[in-house]
Structures are given as C-alpha cells and as structure tokens.
Amino acid sequence: MVEIKSKLLSSMHLDRSYSLFTVKNAAVLLELFNLLDVHEIGQLNDIQFTSFLKTVTAFSHDSVERVFKMVDNGNGQITWENFYLVCAILISLKDRTEKQFLFRHSKIVFGLMDEDGGGTISAEEFKRYGFLFNLNDQSIGELFQEFDVSGDDELDYKEFRMFAMACIDKQRELEQQQEEKDGEKSSCIIL
C-alpha cells in the first residue's frame, strides 16, 4: 500500500460512486497546484512535479520519474488535469479503492500506460506502472498470458480492463495469504 506523507492528501477521499474528488477537495487540489506552479503558466515542470511526489509519497526516485514520464504532456510539463489524475490515483491507493478507480477510469489509465500509443499494452508496460495500483510483478506475470486472448503478447483495451481487475484481485489474494502466514508465525511465537 502506498504511504501518503501529506496530511492534506491523507484527509481526502474519492467519491465512492464515480472515483472522483468532491468539488471542495478538487478546489483544494487546484489551490495546491497553483501554489506549486510558481511560474504561473498553468503547468508544472519536472522539478516541481517530482518534488511534489517525493514529498507526499515514499516512491523511489525511479518510480517518481516513471510517473512523470507517464503523465507529461509531451513537452516536459504536467497539466492540471494530469496532476488531478495522479492525486486521484494516490488517494485510491491510500483508501484501497484502486480497483474501483481503475474500473471507472480504465480508458484514461490504458492511454497513460500505452507508452508507444499503439493501442495495446505489453506486459513490460504494465509492470512498469503496476506499482501505481499496488501490483507486483508476480501477480502481473501469473495472469498476463491468461488474458492475452489474441496471443500477441499485448493486451488491447478490452483485454486490459479484464486483466487489470484480475491482477488487483490476485494481488489482494497474495497479500491475504502473506498476512495469514505472518499471523501463524506470530501465534506460534506466543505459544
């Protein structure tokens, strides 16, 4: 699970029906964006955005750079819309509602993960950004071939949507198994 180090973001939640921020929270986020936008150009550069992510998350430097490359608008800048999207993903991770978020916004997420714009996502592309949905390589690897119906080692949008839902379920299953193992170990220690 992603650790949010910002008290402001920690206090926010997404609407359960649509996986969007409330109007009040969106207004607060816009104020934050405007504070970060010291050049007042309506966009954040790589330094502003990566500093923000490093401050509010425990993401590694590599992960922060991957997120920037994913949402950069092509000229090294992050727009308000993409800033909002990243914050929404972070909140869905914090609240463990990433599956609902992915379901509601699967077309947008698919577009972001499709680095080459080819209309498909490879296992490598998905692994590169899986951390944004609390997924590890094991859950991705175990399921990718099952959902690659066409057999071309890439997922189109429909395959991606089903695959993403299954991956999240598989990840939760693996986490539950680990918790059970940890619980058994601690009960043995107590006895």
SS3 169: helix
- In this structure, the answer to whether residues 116 and 175 fall within a common structural domain is yes
DSSP string for 127-144? HHHGGGGT--HHHHHHHH
- Where residue 103 sits, what CATH number does that domain have? 1.10.238.10
CB atoms within 10 A of CB 155: 26
- In this structure, the answer to whether residues 91 and 154 fall within a common structural domain is no
If one counts the domains in the chain, the total is 2
Structure tokens, 72: 């950069």
Could you give the CA distance from residue 138 to residue 100 in angstroms, rounded to a whole number?
21
- In this structure, the answer to whether residues 3 and 78 fall within a common structural domain is yes
Question: Of 77-81, 94-98, 107-111, 126-130, which range is least confident?
Answer: 126-130
Structure tokens, 183: 């619980």
- In this structure, the answer to whether residues 108 and 128 fall within a common structural domain is yes
Enumerate residues 6+ apart whose C-beta is below 8 A from 121: 110, 113, 114, 154, 155, 160
- In this structure, the answer to whether residues 49 and 134 fall within a common structural domain is no
- In this structure, the answer to whether residues 48 and 78 fall within a common structural domain is yes
pLDDT band, residue 134 (cuts 50/70/90): confident
Could you give the CA distance from residue 171 to residue 175 in angstroms, rounded to a whole number?
6
pLDDT value for 123: 82
Average pLDDT, the chain: 86
pLDDT band, residue 188 (cuts 50/70/90): low
Residue with tokens 């402001």: 8
> What radius of gyration do the chain's Cα atoms show?
18
Residue with tokens 């923000």: 52
**Domain, as residue range, for 153:** 96-191
- In this structure, the answer to whether residues 46 and 136 fall within a common structural domain is no
| Domain-ending residue, one of 38, 60, 95 | 95
- In this structure, the answer to whether residues 116 and 69 fall within a common structural domain is no
Residues in the chain: 191
pLDDT value for 61: 93
Structure tokens, 116: 């080459």
pLDDT band, residue 90 (cuts 50/70/90): very high
- In this structure, the answer to whether residues 14 and 81 fall within a common structural domain is yes
| Domain-ending residue, one of 75, 95, 115 | 95
- In this structure, the answer to whether residues 36 and 115 fall within a common structural domain is no
Enumerate residues 6+ apart whose C-beta is below 8 A from 24: none
Could you give the CA distance from residue 20 to residue 191 in angstroms, rounded to a whole number?
47
pLDDT value for 78: 96
- In this structure, the answer to whether residues 84 and 102 fall within a common structural domain is no
| Domain-ending residue, one of 64, 95, 126 | 95
Q: Cα-flanking dihedrals φ and ψ of residue 63, to 5°?
A: -65, -40
User: Who wins on pLDDT, 117 or 165?
Assistant: 117
- In this structure, the answer to whether residues 24 and 53 fall within a common structural domain is yes
